[in-house]
Amino acid sequence: MKDSALWHRRAFIKNMGYSLFALAIPFSLTANNNLYKMKYKKIYDIIIVGGSYSGLAAAMTLGRALKKVLVIDSGMPCNRQTPFSHNFLTNDGKTPSQIRATAYEQVRIYPSIEFFEGLAIKGTESGLGFAITVDSGETFEAGKVIFATGISDMLPEVEGLSECWGISVIHCPYCHGYEYKHEKTGILGNADKAFETAMLISNWTNDLSIFTNGTASFTPEQRDRLNKHGVNVIEKQVHKLEHTGGHLSRIIFTDGSGYSLKALYAPPPFEQHCKIPMELGCEMTEDGYIKTDSSFETTKKGLYAIGDNASKMRTVANAVAMGTAAGMLISKKMIVDAF
Ligand SMILES: Cc1cc2nc3c(=O)[nH]c(=O)nc-3n(C[C@H](O)[C@H](O)[C@H](O)COP(=O)(O)OP(=O)(O)OC[C@H]3O[C@@H](n4cnc5c(N)ncnc54)[C@H](O)[C@@H]3O)c2cc1C
């Protein structure tokens, strides 16, 4: 939430700057030029819903290709609670808000890009292509819409878990495993998924336990391999996580006993953060991602999806790569079509 507040403060300062500028101009000039009312153009080449890593990367590429772009963003990226972001070259160890702030600073210098801070609530087909309505009631139109809207994690309802999410309860060893190497580590899960996570995490620590939160359901072969690698399986019912400021100290069971831990892997199920692509008829994959072709176009012509909403490779680097590639492919198609 802190990150979101920072993001909004930045937009507020920017908007205040515009307001002071408008006040400083004589009334007749603002009335004639309609400067203040023209803040949003209403019609764009491309609307990007979602202005985090993938959305801003696409915006930069499209802005540099002179396309008129509107970026609509509600300021809720999925990694907002994590203290440090890792494994993105040139930005390793920065806070998520630092990376986004730098991205925003670099994208906003391109004059054909505009930003709307708020939630896109509806999408419809229009004469021009698509119309996107935002929570202020305004509607914007474009020939193409890119959804860079991410996913929402559906965290298990264990007391203390959401406070630790992204800090000591983690989803991915490539993002945060190094920081917990050789530490006492747990996996919250069961069956094949927990077994596969255990195989992977055994690379970072050999002090590993799986908390199945009830009867374990591993195959005999999986059991043998877990035993062979010294992975404990604890079947007690989980009650809560003890932590200080999100830093885990113990997992507590319903029988009152506890187990000391530094980190817990708990990759949760997810849902799409934004439902508009489905409402517009985009097909989904079996795993819950938006289906796209190699040019990031969904099954609905003119609608595109990039970043976490369309890819299992959940990293900032991948989101940025998808955004840049989509920006290049979409602008190239527009240029060639118009030639
Ligand atoms: C806890 C956690 C820690 C992580 N740590 C790392 C790490 O250390 N290193 C790493 O590389 N990756 C990390 N990741 C993964 C990384 O954060 C994601 O891969 C990346 O944020 C994906 O970017 P994105 O642009 O696709 O989506 P997001 O960053 O999730 O952004 C989606 C944006 O779309 C906006 N949005 C959604 N719906 C609407 C709507 N209807 N209207 C307007 N705006 C909308 C949201 O507000 C948000 O700003 C982490 C993820 C999590 C959950």
pTM of the shown model: 0.89
Q: What is the pLDDT of residue 39?
A: 57
pLDDT greater than 70 at residue 10: no
Element (H, E) at 13: helix 2-24
β-pair type (43-49, 139-147): parallel
Q: What is the pLDDT of residue 267?
A: 87
Cα angle: 323, vertex 297, 334; to 5 degrees: 80
Residue 137 in 3-state DSSP?
A: coil
pLDDT digits (tens, 9 = 90+) for 232-290: 999 999 999 999 999 999 999 999 999 999 999 998 999 999 999 999 999 999 999 99
Q: What is the pLDDT of residue 33?
A: 36
Picking from 313, 308, 307, the residue whose alpha carbon sits closest to that of residue 326 is 307
Q: Does residue 314's CB lie within 6 angstroms of at least one atom of ligand 1?
A: yes
Q: From atom 12 of ligand 1, which residue's Cα is the shortest distance away?
A: 315
pLDDT greater than 90 at residue 93: yes
pLDDT greater than 50 at residue 13: no
CA 62–ligand 1 middle distance (angstroms): 20
Residues 110 and 283: their CA atoms lie apart, in Å, by 33
Q: What is the pLDDT of residue 27?
A: 31
CA 197–ligand 1 middle distance (angstroms): 22
With beta carbons less than 8 A apart as the criterion, state whether 267 and 172 touch: yes
Q: What is the pLDDT of residue 111?
A: 97
Q: Does residue 180's CB lie within 6 angstroms of at least one atom of ligand 1?
A: no
Q: Does residue 48's CB lie within 6 angstroms of at least one atom of ligand 1?
A: no
CA 274–ligand 1 middle distance (angstroms): 12
With beta carbons less than 8 A apart as the criterion, state whether 47 and 70 touch: yes
Residue 78 alpha carbon, nearest atom of ligand 1: 30
Backbone φ and ψ for 106, nearest 5 degrees, come out as: -80, -30
101-114: average pLDDT: 97
Name the average pLDDT for the chain.
90
Cα angle: 301, vertex 303, 304; to 5 degrees: 120
Q: Does residue 123's CB lie within 6 angstroms of at least one atom of ligand 1?
A: no
Residue 216 in 3-state DSSP?
A: coil
Q: Does residue 226's CB lie within 6 angstroms of at least one atom of ligand 1?
A: no
Element (H, E) at 44: strand 43-49
CA 65–ligand 1 middle distance (angstroms): 25
DSSP string, 274-324: --HHHHTT--B-TTSPBPB-TTSBBSSTTEEE-GGGG-S--SHHHHHHHHH
CA 281–ligand 1 middle distance (angstroms): 23
Q: Does residue 76's CB lie within 6 angstroms of at least one atom of ligand 1?
A: yes
Confidence of residue 193 (pLDDT cuts 50, 70, 90): very high
Q: By percentage, how much of the chain surpasses pLDDT 70? A: 88
CA 79–ligand 1 middle distance (angstroms): 6
Which of 81, 86, 315 to mutate to test ligand 1, by most ligand atoms within 8 A of the CB atom? 315
Which of 78, 82, 135 to mutate to test ligand 1, by most ligand atoms within 8 A of the CB atom? 78
Q: Does residue 148's CB lie within 6 angstroms of at least one atom of ligand 1?
A: yes
Higher model confidence: residue 196 or residue 29? 196
Residue 86 alpha carbon, nearest atom of ligand 1: 8
Q: Does residue 317's CB lie within 6 angstroms of at least one atom of ligand 1?
A: yes
Residue 244 in 3-state DSSP?
A: strand
pLDDT greater than 90 at residue 180: yes
CA 177–ligand 1 middle distance (angstroms): 19
